[in-house]
Amino acid sequence: MKNIKIHTENMYLYYGSKMALNNISIDIPENKVTALIGPSGCGKSTFLRSLNRMNDLIDSVKIEGNILLDGINIYDKNIDVVSLRKKVGMVFQKSNPFAKSIYENIAYGPRINGINNKSELNDIVEKSLRNAAIWDEAKDRLHDSALGLSGGQQQRLCIARTLAVNPEIILMDEPASALDPISTSKIEELIVQLKENYTIVIVTHNMQQAARISDNTAFFYLGELIEYNKTKKIYTNPDKKQTEDYISGRFG
Amino acid sequence: MMLQKFKRDAKGFIFEGLTLASALIIIAILVVMLVVIIIGGKDMFTWEFLSTFPTDGMTKGGIFPAIFGTAMLVIIMSIAAVPFGTITAIYLTEYAKENSIIAKSIRFAVRTLAVIPSIIYGLFGLGFFIKFVGTGMDNVFLGGQLKWGQPNILWASLTMALLTLPVVIVSVEEALKTIPRELREASLALGATKWQTIRKVVLPGSFSGIMTGTILAVSRGAGEVAPILFTGAAYYLATLPGSLSDQFMVLGYHIYIMATQSANVDQTLPIQFGTTLVLLLLTFSLNFTAVILRYRIRKKRIA
């Protein structure tokens, strides 16, 4: 694997005294889609949320080990969480647009970064919506409430909103799990397009989805990283029996 | 078998009837109360009554100074209680750790404040605002000349603000809690700071709750008498309060003195009914506004 974007080393995460991630070491390459799969409660979402320090919001979480982004430990005391999160965007399982207009949803991130110039904002909004493949549907109703969009549109809006702050990495936590098949395939197409410019880490319960869109797949089970390899290899000839059992649907 | 079933059904029937009866009694009480007040007060409900001063030793005339005083009281009270209560609620929901000692202490204090009898607020206002703060201000700034160390509308409003503070805190807290965690996370994930998230996502979404809290506090404050007895309410004033250091007349207290202190209670009966009707309409319309507001903004948020 060439350029490593995220590198974790002997990473442990605890909720209080309960260990949720056990010795995770993984290299996530730049401009690729990396899928995290595994049964519910296996720690894949927890791992994902460690990468933009979203777990900081939970008081009881304690993290040991290293998570390096471009070689810099993101849990270092000197790291500014706010600028880390601008660099590492996140799309959530449930689409969560603000109760504002479509335009204001996209402009939210740029605005908090101090961009107030109208034409600059207009450009960012259009570009982000285009890149998230929702411009055509949204362009005539930019100033309508984002909550009037369908579920699939809302999720693409949330992706556009993330793109608007110009991140390097996009974390996606089951972004299509609440969507119908057509919306899901739109999101999947979008993810494949986005990897040209972004590094994508996606948690998914949908094994076919992981197989379709990801370059690498990591299989988590009970807080451990069981196997991590090229997606093709994981799906055709996994090294571990547990991986094979999970992928073939024998448990999980 | 049959007998058992019959017994069971009969018990169920009786109990159902009992619950219905008690529910109907509630309605009856309300209806009787409203009917009596409306019948007694409707003839008094004229523009003249609302807009003029009492005359003839308060046996005739209107209640304008009491309406004006009540309005001033709740305005000054809101200016104090709403920002203070909102900020406290923000601290509790957004910053304090759920089970930290400080959060628990604040919640305990808020709950306790809410159940303290209102007369005790009055005594506290007298001791703290008038005797301690007011007299202190007089001594420091006015060389002991009596100005602030006596009952006035400022101290009465602040005392009332303390009484209504729990109402504001609880309503705002509830409103803040209705903002889903996902929205906070969305904002934070875009690189917003916690304060930006509160200001741009949480507070706008809680606007209805803050307004509701304000209106409920105002409605409570407009009706309470005990806290302002010692701290600023006047029996009778020939002029409206012109500054914060003036005393004022107020609707609730006006009813009380009309009913108990008047030279001729029977003669002032229509005034009592009229004043009661005005106070009732005021609190009803405030609560009604709160309901409408809550509904409207909720609808807007969903649309």
In this complex, do A82 and B191 lie within 8 Å of one another by their Cβ atoms?
yes
| For residues A192-221, average pLDDT | 94
Candidate from A85, A98, A113 with C-beta closest to B183: A98
Residue numbers in chain B where pLDDT is lower than 50: 303
* Phi-psi label, residue A13: left if phi above 0, alpha if psi -120 to 50, beta otherwise: beta
Scored b (16 or more CB within 10 A) or e, B107-120 reads eeebeebeeeebee
Strand partners, A90: A171
H/E stretch holding B100: none
Scored b (16 or more CB within 10 A) or e, A18-27 reads ebbbbebebb
Percent of chain A with pLDDT over 90: 84
Give the C-alpha separation, B169 to B270, whole Å: 38
Please give the C-alpha separations between residue A209 and each of A34, A46, A90, A183, A238, in angstroms, as whole numbers. Answer: 12, 20, 19, 13, 17
**Residue A249 pLDDT level (bands cut at 50, 70, 90):** confident
pLDDT for the residue numbered B5? 82
Choose among A113, A66, A73, A65: nearest CA to A89: A113
Choose among A72, A94, A98: nearest CA to A83: A72
CA distance A65 to chain B (A): 23
User: Could you report the per-residue pLDDT of A211-221, keeping only the tens digit for each?
Assistant: 999 999 999 99
**Residue A1 pLDDT level (bands cut at 50, 70, 90):** very low
Please give the C-alpha separations between residue B12 and each of A127, B2, B43, in angstroms, as whole numbers. Answer: 67, 15, 48
Residue numbers in B near A116 (CB within 8 A) = none
Interface of A to B at Cβ within 8 Å reads 52, 54, 57, 59, 82-83, 85-86, 89-90, 92, 94, 96-99, 108-109, 112-113, 145, 147-148, 158, 161-162, 165
Residue of A nearest to B302 (CA): A147
Q: Other C-beta atoms within 10 Å of B101: how many?
A: 9
Which pTM does this prediction carry? 0.81
Task: Tell me the CATH architecture of domain B66-302.
Answer: Orthogonal Bundle (1.10)
Residue of B nearest to A170 (CA): B189
CA distance B301 to chain A (A): 6
Contact yes or no for B159/B224 (Cβ under 8 A): no
Residue of A nearest to B194 (CA): A82
In this complex, do B182 and A83 lie within 8 Å of one another by their Cβ atoms?
no
Q: Which of B190, B202, B208 would best serve as a mutation to test chain A binding (most A beta carbons within 10 A)?
A: B190
Contact yes or no for B244/B152 (Cβ under 8 A): yes
Which two three-digit tokens encode residue A68?
């390096």
pLDDT for the residue numbered A37? 94
Interface confidence, given as ipTM, is 0.90
In this complex, do B190 and A86 lie within 8 Å of one another by their Cβ atoms?
yes
User: Could you report the per-residue pLDDT of A15-37, keeping only the tens digit for each?
Assistant: 999 999 999 999 999 999 999 99
Sequential DSSP letters for B187-247:
HHHTT--HHHHIIIIIHHHTHHHHHHHHHHHHHHHHH--HHHHTTTB-S--SS---STTS-
Give the C-alpha separation, B254 to B233, whole Å: 9
Percent of chain A with pLDDT over 70: 98
Which two three-digit tokens encode residue A11?
């990473």
